[in-house]
Structure 1
């Protein structure tokens, strides 16, 4: 159904925490300080060994605390929190991130009759909460409505991370629990991949919260591109397996080569192959083959013509340059701090032009 803030539909904010005591209070406060008066706050602690217990205890009955005795990872925390929730709309919030006071109100007001998942942008902030950027960047348009055709075509659509998502309870009931072995990290990838099979995706272009980047983030592997790429490839394979299973249940088929149409997946395959060929998990991959597939997939992206052309050219350059130069070009794209100053200035100019 379509909601409005006058309906005061119950909302659950599930905070997943593991050893983030230094960030947790800001996160909990942001959920408690919402200008919406029918939101419960659930804090799942995944057997932390830091000062989390005292932080959680200090809030008393203002929050619902779920203290896991054994560390189970992202998916286990999501499953525990969802099982304790009552909201018709459920947000999963990573403990190092936080929401702005109007976030829940805007989500409820924007909810549509067929919404299964809502997504919104986040400010990227540093450890001191200084705003550095926007995620996803504004020039990348969210994909909304029925994204099932896009999922069946390439296994991905333009979405965001945990703290920028909200879900309809009925959609979650159809797909929960999150497989805990496959999604010990990146449980949001599972939810955002399969929830849209059960309704529409609704997007808000405003920033409704903050996505904190710091050295302990699972997503930060600045000096370990090969390791990061291998993890993301494995994560993609688990996502696509879950997508195939869910699609089959509702009478749809997922093509076996769906990942070869996804430039994001192909970028990781190429990075893994270039950085650590001996550890690359996909037999028979070649640089030229992946680069060619990536160039073709890039031209079919939901992006400006200039962005598509630049990405296609990047793929081809990595595919044909000598190995050492190819690794440098990979690093320049995937790790901003590795770029020469001239490329940093060019990147900013291109991004401005694309905006």
Structure 2
């Protein structure tokens, strides 16, 4: 058995000094929280207050209002000099609000926060304490809450592991890796300076998708499985199109094509080149593409698509995902079922997976049981 380790008083003192110096450096890290708002007056105070309540020093809060027509501007003005207010004269969309907020910020680390979401008081300090000099993007889980802030679930679900480290191989292979939404992301200022301002016309919605696609080309991705905030679900979320599944699918398809265009341009600037057809190796993209084709084939934007071809590609891509073996198998079988079932039944199967509220009660219970088994 090795001899027990001993420390002299001098060594203990040195360790303590080193720890104190390290903590002092962390405390000096400046952070910007950029809140983007459009007609979310009902939720805005909760969001701004959560940003102001962060326990990390040197945290500035910037609130960008994208020409709201509700009481948002009046609410923002009441905060006075506790925040930096950016009231845009005309609505420009998600990307324009991001660009405006970033231009007004100064933090070494930048959080983007949707105005209907909120952070827990230790969110910034936990990210700062885990930050590494090579980090370009940090991602964390969020509690999924309803309008009354009742916790319903975790987003992304715990059984979907985050991708970390150098994610460029996955980006170059299929154009996507496991990440999260706006309010669960933080970025190194140096990475944002390399990719912003972002194209405002192409990303009126889904600006977080642009950043999460191109920022990792400028550093590593870090993650924690801790929930550091809340992602509020309500009827006006842009991502909720329960009654318009085909419309949602087409929007997400086009958003993916715009992301891949941006990725290709950023890759070329760093001397790399994307493989052709990478969207056909992305199960998430293929789900939406199948939904568009099944539900409204006449309006589907890719004319040479077929259900069987997309389903086969989805099954193959699912088997390469960073999930448990059981989950990968279930995903592959689901794709094949959508490809071969009669169109009406295939459409039902699609909606049951993509819109949880459309599932029959027995299927929701079965889904939860399967999820626990695959976790």
Q: What TM-score do the two structures reach when normalised by structure 2?
A: 0.93
Please say if 1:276 is aligned against 2:296.
Answer: yes
What's the counterpart of residue 146 of structure 1? 166
Secondary structure (helix, strand or coil) at the match of 2:75 reads helix
Task: Determine if contact 2:27/2:56 at 8 Å carries over to the other structure.
Answer: no
Aligned to 2:318: 298
Q: Is the 8 A contact 2:43 2:116 kept in 1?
A: yes
User: Does the 8 A contact of 2:41 with 2:70 survive in 1?
Assistant: yes
Give the corresponding residue for 2:218.
198
Structure 1 residue 341, shift from structure 2 partner: 1.9
2:64 is aligned to: 44
Are residue 162 (structure 1) and residue 203 (structure 2) matched?
no
Moved over 6 A (4+): 2-5
The structure 2 residue matched to 1:73, chosen from 87, 93, 104, is 93
Does structure 2 conserve the Cα–Cα contact (< 8 Å) formed by 1:43 and 1:65?
A: yes
Instruction: Give yes or no for the alignment of 1:178 onto 2:192.
Output: no
C-alpha deviation, 1:337, in angstroms: 1.7
C-alpha displacement of 1:266: 0.6
Deviations 1:206-246 (A, max 9, x none): 00000000000000001111000000000000000000000
Query: How many Å separate the matches in 2 of 1:231 and 1:326?
Result: 20
**2-side partners of 1:89 and 1:289: how far apart?**
43
1:22 corresponds in structure 2 to 42
**Unaligned stretches of 5+ in structure 1?**
none
Q: Is the counterpart of residue 286 in structure 1 residue 306 in structure 2?
A: yes
The Cα of 1:8 is off from its aligned counterpart by 2.1
Q: Is the 8 A contact 2:164 2:222 kept in 1?
A: yes
Q: Does the Cα contact within 8 Å between 1:3 and 1:112 map onto a contact in 2?
A: no
Are the counterparts in 2 of residues 301 and 308 from structure 1 also a CA contact under 8 Å? yes
Residue deviations 1:84-143 (CA, integer Å, cap 9, x gap): 000000001000000000000001001012100000000000111110000000000000
Structure 2 residues not aligned, in runs of 5+: 1-21
CA distance in 2, matches of 1:109, 1:160: 20
What residue number does 2:345 align with? 325
Contact 1:4-1:109 at 8 Å conserved across structures: no
Change (3 A) 1:304 1:244: same
Between 313-322 and 338-347, the greater mean CA deviation after superposition = 338-347
Q: Which residue of 2 aligns with 1:130?
A: 150
Q: Distance in 2 between matches of 1:5 and 1:28?
A: 26
Three-state SS of the structure 2 residue aligned to 1:40 is: strand
Please state whether the residue corresponding to 1:47 is helix, strand or coil.
Answer: coil
Q: Does residue 311 in structure 1 map to residue 331 in structure 2?
A: yes
Taking the aligned partners of 1:53 and 1:243, their CA distance within structure 2 comes to: 35
Q: Give the aligned partner of residue 283 of structure 2.
A: 263
User: How many residues are paired up?
Assistant: 354
Checking the alignment, whether the CA contact within 8 Å between 1:14 and 1:93 is kept in structure 2 is: yes
The whole-number CA distance in structure 1 between the counterparts of 2:70 and 2:309 is 47
**Cα RMSD, aligned residues only:** 1.0
Residue 84 of structure 1 pairs with residue 99 of structure 2? no
Q: How far off its partner does 1:301 sit? A: 0.4
